[in-house]
Structure 1
Amino acid sequence: MVCRKCGMRVPKSSNNPIVSVTNKLERTVPVLEQESAGLPTTKAKCPECGNDTAYWWLRQLRAADESEVRFFRCTKCGNTWREYD
């Protein structure tokens, strides 16, 4: 076996299984401090208070070939939620 990154070569033995462990990355979602912050508004029903107007913005959270995530923040109570396409 050959490491794609560093080129190190290790012979594979048939009686020793190879296990790879990866750590899950923690992702933080940016929180907007100012309510208006120049963001556009749209008609979206808040799941907390039922208000029908929310600020919205887009963020690329996954791989570049996947769609963006749409975030909403209620103009009344400030609740933030997201929508995946």
Structure 2
Amino acid sequence: MEFCPECGAMMLPNNGVLKCNKCGYSNELNDNAQYEVSKEINAEETVKYVEDIDMGEGVTEICPKCGHDKATYELKQTRSADEAPTRFFTCKKCKHKWREYD
């Protein structure tokens, strides 16, 4: 596997030339090297961002930004272990995030 010296993307073989699909840099193939591409994966199809995932029905909590009454939440231990965890809320309507402490 070879990587583009210009942008760092993976270079793929095409008609006797290694070519970068990102910036267009190309280099001739070495006669002794064997290159085989078995499957091309488009990373954009496999990546899920947290904002795109529906975290369920959520809880009744008023958003301080838009006033909507539904939010999802997660608990994280942000302080020492003998203190209560912090609740991080995300509004289901405007995606505003805020936190509450016990």
State the TM bucket, normalised to the shorter chain: 0.5 to 0.7
| TM-score when normalising by structure 2 | 0.48
The aligned runs of 1:41-80 (5 Å cut-off) are: 41-80=58-97
Q: Secondary structure at the match of 1:34?
A: helix
1:34 aligns with 2:39: no
- Mapped to 1, the partners of 2:52 and 2:58 lie a distance apart of 11
Answer whether contact 2:87 2:99 (CA < 8 A) is retained.
yes
Q: Partner letter of residue 96 of structure 2?
A: N
Unmatched 5+ stretches in structure 2: 1-48
Bigger Rg over Cα: 2
Size of the aligned set, in residue pairs, is 54
Question: Structure 1 53/76 Cα, relative in aligned 2: closer, same or farther at 3 Å?
Answer: same
Which is bigger in relative contact order (C-alpha 8 A, separation at least 6)?
1
Sequence identity (%): 43
Please tell me whether the aligned partners of residues 35 and 75 of structure 1 are also in contact (alpha carbons under 8 angstroms). Answer: no
Letter in 2 for 1:56: Y
CA apart distance, 1:36: 3.3
User: How far apart, in 2, do the equivalents of 1:34 and 1:79 lie?
Assistant: 11
Structure 1 residue 34, shift from structure 2 partner = 2.5
- Relative to structure 1, is the Cα distance of residues 50 and 35 closer, same or farther in structure 2, using a 3 angstrom cutoff? farther
Q: Which structure shows the higher helix fraction?
A: 2
